[in-house]
Amino acid sequence: MSLKFSDFVLLLLFICFSSPTLAHNGDDPITRTMEEFSGYPIHESHSHSVSSLSVDARSLQKQIDELATFSDTPAPSVTRILYTEKDVLARRFIKNLMGLSGLSIREDAVGNIFGRWEGSEPELAAIATGSHIDAIPYSGKYDGVVGVLGAIEAINTLKRSGFKPKKSLEVILFTSEEPTRFGISCLGSRLLSGVEELAKALKTTVDGQNISFILAARSAGYAEEKDDFYSVSLKKGSYSAFVELHIEQGPILEKEGIPIGIVTAIAAPASIKVEFEGNGGHAGAVLMPNRNDAGLAAAELALAVERHVLESGSIDSVGTVGILELHPGAINSIPSKSHLEIDTRDIDEERRNIIIEKIRQSASAIAKNRGVRLTEFKIVNQDPPALSDKSIIEAMEAASKELNLTHKKMISRAYHDSLFMARVSPMGMIFIPCYKGYSHKPEEYASIENISNGVKVLAVTLAKLSQG
């Protein structure tokens, strides 16, 4: 695999040095338009520029396939965990593509990667776009990737059309959107958004193998200066807009045959850890009136979660007990300990918080009624939802219309780096359909036609925002 990768790099370098204009264009006939339209601002002739946009779908598909080979499990599955060798190689692949697109590259202490195309007024806050390339074990090759490789291709597409940005355009690769290794989701974007408790916690965070975050980051070439994770946070106003392109990870767009989803809000996730303790005992010897069964307390709480979520009366409220562990876990032993992890989300923060409060009350009441101890009720995270910015929604809608692509406004029920970027920048998201809504498994698939449409909408949106 490393041979394949270095061949690829050499080939690209050869193309780059032997013919600078071909570096971004291959043998694309659009090459000529680059000179013809250079310095031609897109807002002065929108329809012309939009119709001259051409996504290099073949290269983009090749890049998606190539990136998928940096995996710790066999194809078609992809496993790419933060700071592993495969993650480092994948990052190198992305930086190389950014370089070939003429972007200037910067990396921060946790490995968020920024590639900037400087605008004609570089002192103005830039327009950013991007996503993640880490992949949970045995997942697919499109989640996040479409928003990173697609963003670089959107830049290439704009460059080929002769577009020149006023505000700088920046592609961001976010570190560790998935919580796989250190249990923290959206690690990179959380830090960028200025979560100081996280910057502090990372200094003592270890993974499942007791490898510290700092050592792992160093092994990937990051965290070299005094473990200063506070330095990652962005100043408010660093960006005037952030737009993320992503597969829907749900079935709606495909089912309705709509190529573009425009996200108006991202649901607010919260997660809670709960533990009950009872006296346990022999499953035969301890009679029913004398028991305090920690397992039954957990079962009752799981049902209470469902009840409280349904009581909200909104289809947007959801709650899940995805982890329920019993100790000692023997058929002839009354559970003496139980451990639950609860995930609850809503697009309405207050409604979501009411559900959390009801779950807390139920946990106490159940413990009391059953004579068990509620030894832990820990809200691990309780993030606020994010609303897309009105002017970015308008830009995404206008872009879809100019490209003759129908669109649908929708809510993102999964969360993304955009949830955190919304704290420091006006935010918007573009969804594209994916096969049966599958994600986080090898069957995850989006057609290159649908990806290319998303890239076009992203390119036109970035162009509009850059000139605004």
Ligand X SMILES: *[C@@H]1O[C@H](CO)[C@@H](O)[C@H](O)[C@H]1NC(C)=O
Name the residues that contact Zn ion, by CB under 5 A. 143-144
Report the residue number, 93 or 142, with the smaller CB distance to ligand X. Answer: 142
Contact 392, 152 (CB under 8 A): no
- 157 and 129 in contact (C-beta within 8 Å)? no
Check binding of 210 to ligand X (CB under 6 A): yes
For residues 143 and 153, which CB has a smaller minimum distance to Zn ion in the complex?
A: 143
Q: Is 257 in the site for ligand X (CB under 6 A)?
A: yes
Q: Whole-number minimum distance, CB 433 to ligand X, in Å?
A: 4
Q: Which of Zn ion, ligand X, none binds 292 (CB below 5-8 Å, type-dependent)?
A: none
Q: Considering only 14-22, 278-286, 368-376, 442-450, which stretch makes contact with ligand X by CB under 6 A?
A: 442-450
The type of residue at 358 is: K
Segment interacting with ligand X, rule: CB under 6 A, options 109-117, 230-238, 384-392, 433-441: 433-441
Q: Which residues contact 124 (CB under 8 A, 6 or more apart)?
A: 166, 167, 168, 240
Please, which residues bridge with residue 268 across strands?
346
143 binds ligand X (CB under 6 A): no
Q: What minimum distance in Å lies between the beta carbon of 432 and ligand X?
A: 8
The answer for residues whose C-beta is within 8 angstroms of residue 141's C-beta and 6 or more apart is 64, 65, 67, 68, 76, 78, 135, 444
Is 297 or 434 the residue whose CB approaches ligand X more closely? 434
Q: In the window 271-330, what residues touch ligand X (CB under 6 A)?
A: none
227: left (phi over 0), alpha (psi -120 to 50) or beta: left
- CB 153 to ligand X: min, Å: 17
**What count of other Cβ atoms lies within 10 Å of the Cβ of residue 316?**
16
Task: Work out whether 435 is an interface residue with ligand X (CB under 6 A).
Answer: yes
The interface partner of residue 143, options being Zn ion, ligand X, none and the CB cut-off 5 to 8 Å by kind, is: Zn ion
- Answer left, alpha or beta for residue 436, where phi above 0 means left and psi between -120 and 50 means alpha: left
- Pick between residue 111 and residue 259 the one whose CB is nearest to ligand X: 259
Residue of 6, 19, 45, 51 interacting with ligand X (CB under 6 A): 51
Distance, C-alpha 284 to centroid of its chain: 50
Strand ranges in 6-83 using DSSP code E only, listed in sequence order: 78-80
Stretch in the footprint of ligand X (CB under 6 A) among 16-24, 35-43, 213-221, 251-259? 251-259
- Considering only the stretches 13-21, 77-85, 411-419, 427-435, report the one whose residues sit in contact with ligand X under the rule CB under 6 A: 427-435
CA dihedral 301, 307, 309, 311 (to 10 degrees): -140
Shortest distance, position 220 Cβ to Zn ion, whole Å: 20
User: Residue 12 or residue 252: which is nearer to ligand X going by CB?
Assistant: 252
Bridging pattern class, strands 318-327 and 337-346: antiparallel
Q: Of the two residues 144 and 250, which places its CB atom closer to Zn ion in the complex?
A: 144
Which of residues 260 and 366 has its CB atom nearest to ligand X in the complex?
260
For CA atoms 153, 155, 159, 163, the dihedral sign is positive
Which of 46, 143, 32, 135 has the alpha carbon at shortest distance from 86? 135
Shortest distance (Å) from residue 51 CB to ligand X: 5
The span from the CA of 302 to the CA of 342, in Å, is: 8
Q: Which is nearer to Zn ion, 418 or 453 (CB)?
A: 418
Query: What residue 433 binds from ligand X, Zn ion, none (CB within 5 to 8 A, per partner kind)?
Result: ligand X
Question: DSSP E strands: which ranges in 85-229?
Answer: 104-107, 113-117, 126-132, 135-139, 169-174
Per CB under 6 A, residues contacting ligand X are 50-51, 210, 254, 257, 259, 403-404, 433-435, 445-447, 450
